[in-house]
Structure 1
C-alpha cells in the first residue's frame, strides 16, 4: 500500500497549463491510461486503508494494556499522538506539505476518548462522518490553469519553511475529518482481530474485499473516464457532487484492500519467500519508508534542487513512484537482514512506552 501512497502523492507535483483533479489536462494516450488507473485504484482509495490500519493498531495497543485504567491508556495514546504531530509538522515543513502523520496525531488526540466506546457508537459515528464527506462540495476537485501550490514547489527556503508551517497546521486540523470513518471502523475491526485471524472471518473478509473494491472502482469512473478522455469534464455543479462521491466510495476500496491482503496472507500461510519477507520488512518500518518517499519528492521536484515538475509526465512520474517504492523495499529488507529497526519506529516506541522496540 505504500506503493499506492507514492502513486497518489507524486502526480500532484506536475506542472502544466491546465489541470483536472490533480492531473494535467489534455493527456496523451499513455498518460491518460495511467491517470485513469491511478484515479480508479489509488486516489482516495489508499489513504482510507491507512486510516483503517491506524485505528486497528490503536485497538491493538489498547488490548495490550490489559486492565490498565482508561486514564493510563489515554495518556499513552496522547504521547503517541503528540509525537506524530511533531514529526508530521517537521515532515510537512521540510519535505512534503501533504503530510498525513500530523493529521493522524490530531485525530488520535481526540480519538483516544473513543477507544472505550461501545461498538454501536463506533459504527454510528463512522457512518455519520462518511455521509458528511460524501456531501456536495465545490472545493473537492479542481479545474483550472494554476499549477501546484507554492508550498508544494517552493521557490526558496523562506517559502518552504514559513508558508509550509501555516499550511501544515491547516491540513493537520482539517485532515482528520476525512479519516474519522476509517479510524473508527479500524477500532471496531481491531477489537475482533479481523485481520489477525482471517481464518475465523473468511466469509466476511471475502464480502468486504469483493464488495468494497467493486464499489470503489465503479464510483471512480465519473472522474477516471474524464482523465481517459471518454467523457467531458463535468460542469462545476456536477463536479461538486461527483468529486466528493469519488472519495467517499474510495473509502470502501480501502476496506476492500485491507480484507484482500488478509485473505492473501491466509492463502500464503506459513510460506515466506523473499518477496513476502521483504514486503513484511517494509510493513514493520512503514513510517520510515513513508518519510523516505518524501526525500525523493523533495530532491526531484523542488525548483532549487532538480526541479523536474515540468519535465516529467504522468507516466514517467508513476515510474518514479514505483522506483521509489522499490528502493524502500530494498532498504527495509537490508535493515531486516542486518538487524536494524526503522529509526522512526524506534522513536515512536520509545516516546509511547518509554523504551525502545525489542529486537
Structure 2
C-alpha cells in the first residue's frame, strides 16, 4: 500500500477547506453586505414610500444613501447569489460522482438538500422576514435538477427565456407601493403585532414567488453553464473571459441602475411609465452587474488576492458560512428594528439604517472568521448537512 497517496474525502463529509474553490466563497461573503444593505430599507418606518420602497422626503444624507444603494446594490447582489447557487449545485454533483455515487443517488441527495433548504426558508419567512430568498431558491433547485445534464445550447436558451420573462414582473418591485392604504412593499414590518406580522408575511409570499422566481432562475442557469467550465474553480485559466465580463457588466450595472436611483432619491420626478421603464432597466442591468461582480471576484481569486490578507480570509470564511450569516442578519434586524421588537426603525432614516446594516454584516464577518480559526462550521450549514445526509457527518 502506498502510504503517500492522498486520501480521498468521503462523499458525505464536508469539502476540506484547502479543496474548496476560493472565488465562490469570496463572492458570497462580500455579497452578504449587499443583501444586508438592500434589506435594511424595509425596516425604515416612514409616512410614505416611493420607488424601491425608499421613504419620501428624507434628509439629504438619506437621499444620497438612496441614490447609491438603488444604483449599486438593489437587484445586483441577489442575482449573484442565484448564480452561485447554480454553480454550487454542479460542484456538488461533480464531487459526488467523483466519489463513486451514481447519478440517481446524487439527485436524491440534491432533492433532500433543496427540500430542507425550502423548509429553512419557510421557517425564516414565518418567524423573521417576509423577503426570504431561501425557500424560493430551494423550490427552484428542483427545477434546476432538470437542467444539470442538459446541452449547453438548451441551457443558455432557457436562461435567455427566463430572463425575458423575469424582467416585466420583477420591474414591479421597483415601483412605488400601489393603493392609498399600502405604504410599503413589506407591510408585515409596519405592524406592532407579531402574530399579524406572521400572517402578513405568509400572505405576501406567493406574490414574492411570482415576482422573483424567474429573476433568480435565469442566473442560476448561467451558474450551471459557468460551473461546467470551472470558470470560478480555475479562474486563472479563464482570465480573459472574466476580465471582459467584469469590464462590461459592472459599468452596465451602474449606468442601468442610475435612472431608478435618481427617481428613488427624489432627484427625478418621473411619471408612472418612466418609473416602470427605469425599473425594468434596473432589473435587466442587475443581471449584468451580477455577472460582472462574479467575474471580478474570479479575477481576485486568480491573482491570489484572497489568500494573502486577513480581510480576504474573513470574507472567504463568511462565504463558507453564508447561510448562517444570512439568517443572523434577520435575527439582528428584527430584534432591533421591527415595530413588534426593538422598534428602532421609527427613528432611523435610510442612511443610518444602511450604516446599521453594514455593522451587522461586519459582526457576522468577525463571527465567521473566529469560527474558521476554531475549525467550526456555521450552525445552519451543519444542520442542513445533517438533515440532507440523514446522519451526522465528519
CA, structure 1 residues 197+309, in 2 after alignment: closer, same or farther (shift >3 Å)? same
Contact 1:15 1:310 in 2 (8 A): yes
Match of 1:46 in 2: 77
Match of 1:262 in 2: 298
1:217-256 alignment, distance < 5 Å: 217-232=254-269, 234-256=270-292
Match of 2:105 in 1: 72
Q: Deviations over 1:216-244 (max 9, x none)?
A: 11111111122344322x21122222212
* Residue number among 154, 160, 171 corresponding to 2:208 in the alignment: 171
Moved more, 27-36 or 38-47: 27-36
1:124-203 alignment, distance < 5 Å: 124-135=157-168, 139-143=172-176, 146-148=182-184, 149-172=186-209, 175-203=212-240
In structure 1, distance between residues paired with 2:212 and 2:170 = 15
Match of 2:125 in 1: 92
The reply on whether 1:104 has 2:134 as its aligned counterpart is no
Contact 1:14 1:313 in 2 (8 A): yes
In structure 2, distance between residues paired with 1:255 and 1:172 = 23
* Residue number among 22, 25, 29 corresponding to 2:56 in the alignment: 25
Contact 1:135 1:241 in 2 (8 A): no
For normalisation by structure 1, the TM-score amounts to 0.93
Contact 1:102 1:172 in 2 (8 A): no
Contact 2:263 2:275 in 1 (8 A): no
CA, structure 1 residues 54+357, in 2 after alignment: closer, same or farther (shift >3 Å)? farther
Aligned-pair CA distance for 1:71: 2.8
CA, structure 1 residues 32+152, in 2 after alignment: closer, same or farther (shift >3 Å)? same
Match of 2:242 in 1: 205
CA, structure 1 residues 299+137, in 2 after alignment: closer, same or farther (shift >3 Å)? closer
In structure 1, distance between residues paired with 2:276 and 2:175 = 10
Q: Deviations over 1:83-133 (max 9, x none)?
A: 111100110111111110000001012211111111111111101111122
Gaps of 5+ in 1: none
Q: Deviations over 1:42-74 (max 9, x none)?
A: 000000000000000001011112264443222
In structure 2, distance between residues paired with 1:173 and 1:357 = 36
For normalisation by structure 2, the TM-score amounts to 0.85
CA, structure 1 residues 173+90, in 2 after alignment: closer, same or farther (shift >3 Å)? farther
Match of 2:114 in 1: 81
Gaps of 5+ in 2: 1-30
Contact 1:56 1:189 in 2 (8 A): yes
The reply on whether 1:335 has 2:371 as its aligned counterpart is yes
